[in-house]
């Protein structure tokens, strides 16, 4: 048995790569099963092994449905859907909050009040409704998947638990402020990529990871387009983004950097050794401080792009298509920036 450190005759053993006791037993199908008990306490591990053996016996003798745990569910769900889910990294982050509350819980014993307590606790910590909705939504999605794909007979108390989310944030900067931000970013010798990132974000409306994970094979400078497949976008839909002169200039700078330092790198935003840049938070925060801009986030560059387009008279449907919103409802948060459109409409009521 690989990684085995200490073995008990009772079917429990320890491994060098795990702090927990592991169990070995024959499942209902007659197969040898080895699984972590999730506890370093031997007495607890023995009790859990006895439970699993009893469940296997009942299922084998009377076809009784075995009990399922939260841990079992999330592990199986992650394995089954990892390849098709674009947000697996975010899911792992969410699980850091779900696990301390639900680990070890049998799913048949999970009740609406348990989910309500979780929501209340997260609200007490100051967590926003959108974040809580994503966390509870992951639990609901995993349970639904197990019910639909594996015929698990379990309740779903996490379903339809969405909190009302306040109107989306719209924080944007003027062109003068953007120029000041770019000037401040250019002064940081440790982040020569930052001005180009800011210019691309302002002039394409791309999300942070759509740019940081952008590969050269999806850049067509001759046609003036960026190509994003469904796996690269939040909505899961492919889109092509036209490049204006500012965006093209930023990409030309990145191309020159690549030719000089790492000609074989596949990434538009990379270090001198060709590895991908995964975060710009620190350098961006420094540039904001030096430019005297407050209450502004990286994602607000995308809001700024939208605001500039709407105030220039671009129809909301076209802004929707550029930003890759799944519906125009998301884009409507910027409608108030073009009051003249509404004014023109109401003047028609005046007649001749």
Q: Any idea what the CATH number is for the domain that residue 319 is in?
A: 1.10.443.10
Question: Residue 161 falls within a domain, yes or no?
Answer: no
Residue 163 near residue 132 (C-beta atoms within 8 A)? yes
Question: Residue 154 falls within a domain, yes or no?
Answer: no
Question: Residue 29 falls within a domain, yes or no?
Answer: yes
Domain boundary among 62, 83, 105: 62
Query: Which pLDDT score, from 0 to 100, does residue 155 have?
Result: 92
Question: Residue 104 falls within a domain, yes or no?
Answer: yes
Query: Which pLDDT score, from 0 to 100, does residue 62 have?
Result: 66
> Which residues, in sequence order, are bridge partners of residue 239?
228
Question: Residue 350 falls within a domain, yes or no?
Answer: no
CA distance 221 to 251: 8
Query: Which pLDDT score, from 0 to 100, does residue 2 have?
Result: 47
Do both 16 and 127 map to the same domain? no
Do both 214 and 308 map to the same domain? yes
Question: Residue 309 falls within a domain, yes or no?
Answer: yes
Domain that holds residue 47: 4-62
* Length, in residues, of the chain: 352
Question: Residue 37 falls within a domain, yes or no?
Answer: yes
CA distance 312 to 317: 14
Query: Which pLDDT score, from 0 to 100, does residue 174 have?
Result: 93
Query: Which pLDDT score, from 0 to 100, does residue 347 have?
Result: 53
Do both 335 and 230 map to the same domain? yes
Do both 330 and 249 map to the same domain? yes
- Run means of pLDDT, 10 residues per run, the chain, 352 residues: 53 85 81 82 85 76 71 85 68 87 87 94 92 94 92 90 79 93 95 96 91 94 87 72 93 96 96 95 96 94 88 81 70 65 52 54
Do both 200 and 76 map to the same domain? no
Do both 262 and 193 map to the same domain? yes
Dihedrals φ, ψ of 275, to 5°? -75, 150
* pTM score of the predicted model: 0.61
Domain boundary among 35, 62, 89: 62
Do both 43 and 82 map to the same domain? no
Domain count, the chain: 3
């Amino acid at each position: 048995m690989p990684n085995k450190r200490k073995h008990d005759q009772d079917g429990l053993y320890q491994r060098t790569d795990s702090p927990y006791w592991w169990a070995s037993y024959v499942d209902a199908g007659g197969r040898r099963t080895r699984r972590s008990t999730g506890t370093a306490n031997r007495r607890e591990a023995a009790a859990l092994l006895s439970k699993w053996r009893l469940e296997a016996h009942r299922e084998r003798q009377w076809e009784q449905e075995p009990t399922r745990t939260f841990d079992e569910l999330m592990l199986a769900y992650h394995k089954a859907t990892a390849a098709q889910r674009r947000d697996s990294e975010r899911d792992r982050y969410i699980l850091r909050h779900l696990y301390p509350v639900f680990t070890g819980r049998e799913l048949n014993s999970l009740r609406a009040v348990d989910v309500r307590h979780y929501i209340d606790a997260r609200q007490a910590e100051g967590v926003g409704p959108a974040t809580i909705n994503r966390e509870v939504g992951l639990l609901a999605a995993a349970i639904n998947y197990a019910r639909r794909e594996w015929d698990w007979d379990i309740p779903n108390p996490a379903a339809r638990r969405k909190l009302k989310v306040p109107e989306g944030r719209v924080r944007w900067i003027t062109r003068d402020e953007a120029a000041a931000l770019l000037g401040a970013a250019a002064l940081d010798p440790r982040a020569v990529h930052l001005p180009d990132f800011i210019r691309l974000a302002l002039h394409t409306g791309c999300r942070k990871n759509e740019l940081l994970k952008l590969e050269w094979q999806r850049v067509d400078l001759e046609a003036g387009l960026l190509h994003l497949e469904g796996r690269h976008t939040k909505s899961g839909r492919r889109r092509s983004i036209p490049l204006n002169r500012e965006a093209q200039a930023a990409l030309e700078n990145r191309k020159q950097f690549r030719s000089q330092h790492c000609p074989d790198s596949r990434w538009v935003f990379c270090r001198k050794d060709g590895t991908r840049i995964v975060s710009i938070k620190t350098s961006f925060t420094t540039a904001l401080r030096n430019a005297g801009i407050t209450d502004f986030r990286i994602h607000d560059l995308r809001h700024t792009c939208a605001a500039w387009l709407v105030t220039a008279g671009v129809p909301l449907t076209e802004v929707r298509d550029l930003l890759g919103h799944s519906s125009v409802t998301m884009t409507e948060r910027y409608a108030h920036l073009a009051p003249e459109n509404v004014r023109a409409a109401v003047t028609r009521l005046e007649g001749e």
